Amino acid sequence: MKNSLILFCCSLLFIACVDNSSIPVDVKTAPDNSYYKEQYRNQLHFSPEANWMNDPNGMVFYEGEYHLFYQYYPDSTVWGPMHWGHAVSPDMVSWEHLPIALYPDSLGLIFSGSAVYDAENTSGFGEKGKGPLIAIFTHHDMAGEKAQTKTFQYQSIAYSNDKGRTWTKYADNPVVSNPGIKDFRDPKVIWHAESEKWIMVFAAYDKVRIYNSPNLKDWTYQSEFGIPGDKRLWECPDLFPMKVEGTDLTKWVLITSIQKEGPNGGTATSYFVGGFDGKEFKGDFKNQKWLDYGKDNYALVTWANVPKEDGRILALGWMSNWQYAQIVPSKKWRSAMTLARSLTLHKEKNNDFKIRSMPVKELAKIEGKSHTVDAKVYNETTEIYSSAAQTLFKINLSFKKPASNTIGIRLSNDASEYVDIEFDGVANRFAINREKSGKVDFSADFPGIHFGEVDYEQETVDMLLYVDHASVELFADQGQCVMTEICFPTKPFSKIELLVKKGSAELISGSITELKGIW
Ligand code: FRU
């Protein structure tokens, strides 16, 4: 969003004048078999059937279902009065759409937030001896915003006793009132076993605030964390412990999405690693890291209540960027989520702690035929796959690190549109070039070459790519450098070339796996 929500809403109004169509939602039984087959419709990713979506919200695993709520405006393909849309999945791969879960009310629009399973019924909202699901969200009061009150965002809760199908808003909302901070939103709640309290972290303009509560209803301010002097707007934080791989150490991670100056421009998701004692997050504010170097992974947060025996930290983000999200060329709906990812924390050679993200293993379910790519030295750009009928891919390549040239992958179609995903052996960085990727002229911020930093020494360059009709996700070097980028080729990419810019590329191993759509 723009710095000021007011400015933001004005620009929305402008865009809404250009494109204010309310689009009826298709039914899955569409007789012409056109369901989810529109141009630019991703086949591997979650997207709403119609109209506008932004951040993932309320992600909680409960009784075999991964819940995904999301910022949703059901009356247009641009941002507007926010609801929580809802979908569930058994595996974070295939999704079932459910009716809208939360509607705006007299306290305001329903902005981003989270959900938890209140197993011990600390809230008292449970029924029949069972704890409820509790959604914690921001109410955004439009009238207060217009009147420039500065107190128009506050945190509220709702509960459900039927697996998230219906929700009752708490009669005494809001549960956290606003002391006069204009941007005061996006609560994420976790259970902190050591202090036996619920912890709420949310964004308060250029910082996060931390509150605690015994019962999800009564909240007490504890602390805040920010970068002194840094005035960028923070949104959608998350706070959780992570075991450092291969050690007995546990660190706390604070995720925060940043509204501008992401690594390649616009909005992006960042994190800090530190400690948390139930009251205060202590981390090095000078050491802000990017979870994803691509332009299109915002508001990423983790799933709550993932079973202990699973033990993974599971997350996904909104696959777009506020710079152009509202004018991307899809017609009936706008935006998709990233693939679900599993996050792990590693102590690197320089003793720094870093998150690696890899696509969840459940994606193996959609794998079809796999083709081996010849392991050899390639002296020039070489076609390694082509089939007009197949347009969804997982590509897995391991190269010897090139000393002085650039190698990678070109995805293309017969309309001469392409995306290059490269590693530059001199600059020691990854890049995605989407300048000629199809429809790019809708925003000056869209086309371009975007870079993914690697500050580690490497002997091999490993590229794992998921290619969908309107996105490319690169998980390089076992998830150390991740780049998520959307693109709008007028026809899906169906040709894959191994790219060699000067010199040669030594491929150690490679495969191309055809994927099946999830819809
Ligand atoms: C992030 C965000 C949140 C807010 C929501 C409104 O993309 O701006 O801070 O709650 O979107 O839709």
Share of the chain above pLDDT 90, in %: 91
Three-class DSSP category at 6:
helix
Whether pLDDT at 21 is above 70: no
Find the mean pLDDT for residues 420-436.
97
Q: What pLDDT digit, counting tens, does each position of 29-83 carry?
A: 555 678 999 999 999 999 999 999 999 999 999 999 999 999 999 999 999 999 9
Q: Is 91 a catalytic residue?
A: no
Q: Between 495 and 9, whose confidence is greater?
A: 495
pLDDT at 28: 54
Query: How many other C-beta atoms are found inside a 10 Å radius of the C-beta of residue 382?
Result: 15
Q: What pLDDT digit, counting tens, does each position of 176-208 carry?
A: 999 999 999 999 999 999 999 999 999 999 999
CATH 1.10.510.10 fits 367-515, yes or no: no
**Average pLDDT along the chain:** 94
Picking from 427, 439, 451, 434, the residue whose alpha carbon sits closest to that of residue 268 is 451
User: How big is the CA angle at 497 (ends 496 and 498), to the nearest 5 degrees?
Assistant: 130
Ligand 1 pocket (Cβ < 6 Å) reads: 1, 54-55, 71, 82, 111-112, 138, 185-186, 235-236, 299
Residue 245's pLDDT band (cuts 50, 70, 90): very high
Whether pLDDT at 15 is above 60: no
Whether pLDDT at 485 is above 60: yes
pLDDT at 502: 87
Residue from 184, 185, 318, 338 to probe ligand 1 pocket by mutation (most atoms less than 8 Å from CB): 185
Q: What is the CA radius of gyration of the chain?
A: 22
Residue nearest (by alpha carbon) to ligand 1 atom 6: 111
The ranges assigned to domains in the chain are 4-26+42-358, 367-515
Residue 13's pLDDT band (cuts 50, 70, 90): very low
pLDDT at 290: 97
Which range has the worst mean pLDDT, 78-92, 118-132, 151-165, 449-463? 449-463
pTM for the predicted model, two decimal places: 0.94
User: How big is the CA angle at 62 (ends 163 and 245), to the nearest 5 degrees?
Assistant: 165
pLDDT at 340: 98
pLDDT at 457: 82
Find the mean pLDDT for residues 463-470.
98
**Conformation bin of residue 478: beta by default, left when phi > 0, alpha when psi is -120 to 50:** left
Distance CA 139, CA 198 (A): 20
Picking from 357, 361, 236, 242, the residue whose alpha carbon sits closest to that of residue 301 is 236
Q: Which atom of ligand 1 is nearest to 267's Cα?
A: 7
State how far Cα 413 lies from the chain centre.
27
Quick one: 4-26+42-358 is in which CATH superfamily? Answer: Glycosyl hydrolase domain; family 43 (2.115.10.20)
